[in-house]
């Protein structure tokens, strides 16, 4: 992702409906982990950009490190008081089996050899550790936006599952997100000439967030959406 897009993301992520609801998704996932007996431990936020998700991890008691490839993203996260390391997701500078949780939201689609990044997630997780992954879905939604933000691909359920399982992780749950707004996204992408990142009128921003937040209470996770979410774990060795 270009430096200008990183800076734009950092400026938007505190208020934009998409980033706010995605942080809410992460928060719910962390609460579910806590309810199932997973105590907060060492976490890595891969592709952290400005560190919005890293801050969620910290708020829930985890000990997170933000990992970001770009200079600008790492600088923004550092300015926000986060622990940051710069590295490639295919070569994580982390000891094997040292992490309790790895978060990789909207990262794999930027990497040609995405299976290498998935393998690194598996390597750095301790047995029983959790991976939370999000990716854009469905190549029918491919547009100038994907090109502008540096996507290599969009996934379907089968390709995402295959990438994660090839790395040696066990998929616990795989579901769609941003389902209700998919028709709007499909229309917008047909007319898109670049990145969709940008400021919105306050009333539009609030309205879109209300729509996507309604998915929390509706049985739509199995329907086609704009993104896929996945929870997996590293099995016991051997």
Q: Read off the pLDDT of residues 82-138 as tens digits, 9 standing for 90 and up.
A: 999 999 999 999 999 999 999 999 999 999 999 999 999 999 999 999 999 999 999
The domain tally of the chain equals 1
Cα–Cα distances (Å) from 40 to 58, 82, 130, in that order, read 9, 17, 11
CATH code (residue 220): 3.40.50.150
Task: Please check whether residue 151 lies inside any domain of the structure.
Answer: yes
Task: Please check whether residue 238 lies inside any domain of the structure.
Answer: no
Report the pLDDT value the prediction gives residue 73, as an integer from 0 to 100: 82
Report the pLDDT value the prediction gives residue 225, as an integer from 0 to 100: 96
Report the pLDDT value the prediction gives residue 5, as an integer from 0 to 100: 62
Report the pLDDT value the prediction gives residue 6, as an integer from 0 to 100: 67
Separation between Cα atoms, residue 14 and residue 167, nearest integer Å = 33
pLDDT digits (tens, 9 = 90+) for 10-52: 777 888 899 999 999 999 999 999 999 999 999 999 999 889 9
Q: Is the confidence at residue 162, as pLDDT, over 60?
A: yes
Task: Please check whether residue 191 lies inside any domain of the structure.
Answer: yes
Length of the chain: 238
Q: Is the confidence at residue 230, as pLDDT, over 90?
A: yes
Q: Is the confidence at residue 237, as pLDDT, over 90?
A: no
Structural domain of residue 209, as residue ranges? Answer: 3-233
Task: Please check whether residue 148 lies inside any domain of the structure.
Answer: yes
More confident residue, 41 or 146: 41
More confident residue, 169 or 9: 169
If you average pLDDT over each of 104-108, 145-149, 182-186, which comes out highest? 104-108
**pTM, two decimal places:** 0.92
Residue 210: CB partners within 8 Å, gap ≥ 6? none
Task: Please check whether residue 57 lies inside any domain of the structure.
Answer: yes
């Amino acid at each position: 992702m270009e430096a200008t897009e990183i800076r734009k993301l950092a400026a938007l992520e505190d208020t934009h409906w998409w980033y706010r609801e995605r942080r809410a998704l992460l928060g719910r996932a962390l609460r579910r982990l806590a309810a199932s007996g997973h105590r907060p431990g060492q976490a890595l936020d891969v592709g952290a950009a400005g560190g919005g998700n890293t801050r969620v991890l910290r708020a829930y008691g985890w000990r997170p490190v933000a990992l970001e490839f770009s200079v600008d993203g790492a600088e923004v996260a550092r300015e926000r008081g986060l622990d940051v390391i710069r590295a490639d997701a295919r070569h994580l500078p982390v000891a094997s089996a040292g992490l309790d949780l790895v978060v990789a939201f909207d990262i794999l689609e930027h990497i040609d050899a995405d299976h290498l990044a998935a393998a690194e997630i598996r390597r750095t997780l301790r047995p029983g550790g959790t991976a939370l992954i999000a990716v854009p879905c469905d190549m029918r939604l491919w547009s100038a936006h994907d090109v502008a933000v540096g996507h290599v691909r969009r996934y379907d359920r089968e390709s995402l599952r295959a990438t994660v399982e090839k790395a040696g992780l066990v998929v616990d749950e795989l579901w769609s997100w941003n389902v209700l707004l998919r028709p709007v996204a499909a229309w917008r992408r047909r007319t898109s000439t670049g990145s969709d990142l940008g400021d919105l009128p306050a009333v539009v921003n609030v309205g879109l967030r209300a729509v996507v937040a309604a998915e929390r209470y509706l049985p739509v996770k199995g329907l086609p959406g704009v993104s896929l979410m996945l929870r997996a774990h590293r099995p016991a060795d051997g």
